[in-house]
Amino acid sequence: MRDRVLDELLNEGILLDPEAAELVLAQADPAAYVRSILASMTQHPLVLTADHVRAYSSIHPSAIPKVQVNPVLEELRKSPSVMARPKSSDIEIIHDITGNSTCEGTVNDFARCFNDRFKKIKKILSRRHELAGSLPVAKAVKYDREVRTIGMVSDWHNTKNGHKIIELEDDEGKCTVLIHKDSEYINESIVNDEVIGIVGKSTSKGDLLVLKELIRPDIPITNVMEQSDSTSSVAFMSDVHVGSNTFLHTEWNNMMHWLKTEGKDEIQYLVLPGDVVDGIGVFPGQEEELEIEDVFEQYRTLEELLKEVPDSIQILIQPGNHDAVRPAEPQPTFPKIISEIFDSSCMLIGNPCTMKLEGRRILTYHGRSLDDWISSVQGLTYENPLETMNEMLKRRHMAPLYGGKTPLAPEKEDHLVIDEIPDIFVTGHIHGAGIGMYKGVTTICASTWQSQTSFQKMHNFSPDPAILPVVHLGTGKAKIVDFS
Ligand SMILES: [Fe+2]
């Protein structure tokens, strides 16, 4: 329904920012609701924002969105986050927004963030020999010879003749690129706001660059995970969803028994990549699916459950979209009032977070953007999240698509660019499980500890719960320990 409503509004020239879209879509008749907001305004804004929606609903109380923002949660989400110190000196946090957020969401912030994305990915692409001597996009189209250029995709479409047109921009100008229907690249999926390299030749009129080669920043084929002398292993445990009535108590207890016995000597680090509790007010009607209705109690219960983890294991906890932190990515870690619930065996980190465990570089990202990738790129499915993670690595960006389900905070730096190549890349969120390898990077989808929810049932999706992926930090060997 979401897409149909947004398309209908777009056809009428009405644009909504992502937060406004969420508020509006909670209404019984979202399109009619937007029209009444606009009718109440003397001048129509270019983009309808969440502030416009809230201002309207404060004057028209009967029209307050059905998904009420919980005041406790709202307060929590605004309070500053605190990152606890690691107890082990073998943990190094390389990249994390916690304590460094500066964005106010202005147009300038967005421009600066996109500019940073462009610069970082252009730097990666510029190292490719195929793109040596690349020209600014507007200049490239003027040359009557084969040229190379690097730009950000501002838009694209398929033509009725079967060709593909890409609008490309850089910090100096723009140009139009044509992928001919007979080109080997015609079926390449293009994503708005991704940064790509083009080898091509201008048409005789000099207004269109015809693509010969499409180059993505990607991971070099020479990339390998070097062995180290570490003897430690790390386990990943995503989407625990404590507080939900579908939390898998028996499977959790079996896993905990394993951690305290067989796993005790093997596992030194336990990473929880987000949605550690089910939260409150995350989706309409959630209260009917909660076993614990108080968000603090959910975190206290999680802490109780984690107390069972042997002391020798360092726990790292990251937030996801169900957690009590700001929803916009990058997400800083938990506020003090929640971090105080956890003892020193738990280190709280942001989302995404790049860290080194005993020298091994790990990128852990909850994975909200998987929804947007899957709905936008043909061939990507909920059944194969590792394939979507490969697309992220190929484009060196976790969430290039702006305006989808993933709210993005325009920080002065784009924290979702994958500028350094990780040894291990982990996501969760969609409750799938698996281990893969993409050009020397171990990819992990870190399961869930919740059985099928009513929402998943409605969408005919079967999760892969109670699976614990484990990676040896020395050899890089990965395995699954199955408690399902
Ligand atoms: Fe999630």
- Residue 319 CA to ligand 1 centre (angstroms): 9
Q: Which residue has the higher pLDDT, 50 or 457?
A: 457
- Residue 111 CA to ligand 1 centre (angstroms): 28
The yes-or-no answer to whether 2-68 and 74-103+232-482 have a common fold is no
What sign has the CA pseudo-torsion 347, 353, 355, 360?
positive
- Residue 286 CA to ligand 1 centre (angstroms): 14
- Residue 42 CA to ligand 1 centre (angstroms): 39
- Residue 278 CA to ligand 1 centre (angstroms): 9
pLDDT band at 389 (very low <50, low <70, confident <90, very high): very high
What sign has the CA pseudo-torsion 408, 413, 415, 421?
positive
> Model confidence over 48-90: pLDDT tens digits?
777 777 777 766 644 434 444 566 666 766 666 666 545 566 9
- Residue 240 CA to ligand 1 centre (angstroms): 10
Q: Structure tokens of 429?
A: 């969120």
- Residue 277 CA to ligand 1 centre (angstroms): 10
- Residue 427 CA to ligand 1 centre (angstroms): 10
- Residue 26 CA to ligand 1 centre (angstroms): 19
- Residue 465 CA to ligand 1 centre (angstroms): 14
- Residue 28 CA to ligand 1 centre (angstroms): 25
Which amino acid appears at position 391 of this protein?
A: E
Q: The domain at 127-215 falls in which architecture?
A: Beta Barrel (2.40)
Share of the chain above pLDDT 90, in %: 72
Rounded to whole angstroms, the maximal C-alpha distance in the chain is 72
- Residue 371 CA to ligand 1 centre (angstroms): 10
473-482: average pLDDT: 96
- Residue 479 CA to ligand 1 centre (angstroms): 23
Please, what is the end-to-end C-alpha distance for the chain in angstroms? 33
Nearest to 267 by CA among 243, 310, 236, 232: 232
Mean pLDDT of the chain: 89
Q: Structure tokens of 89?
A: 């000196």
* Extents of the domains making up the chain: 2-68, 74-103+232-482, 127-215
Range 2-68 has CATH code 1.10.3470: no
Low-confidence winner among 91-105, 169-183, 428-442 (lowest mean pLDDT):
91-105
- Residue 268 CA to ligand 1 centre (angstroms): 25
- Residue 225 CA to ligand 1 centre (angstroms): 28
Range 74-103+232-482 has CATH code 3.60.21.50: yes
Interacting residues of 264 by C-beta distance below 8 A, sequence separation 6+: 310, 312, 313
> Model confidence over 243-274: pLDDT tens digits?
999 999 999 999 999 999 999 999 999 999 99
- Residue 177 CA to ligand 1 centre (angstroms): 36
Nearest to 396 by CA among 170, 199, 150, 225: 150
- Residue 344 CA to ligand 1 centre (angstroms): 25
- Residue 208 CA to ligand 1 centre (angstroms): 42
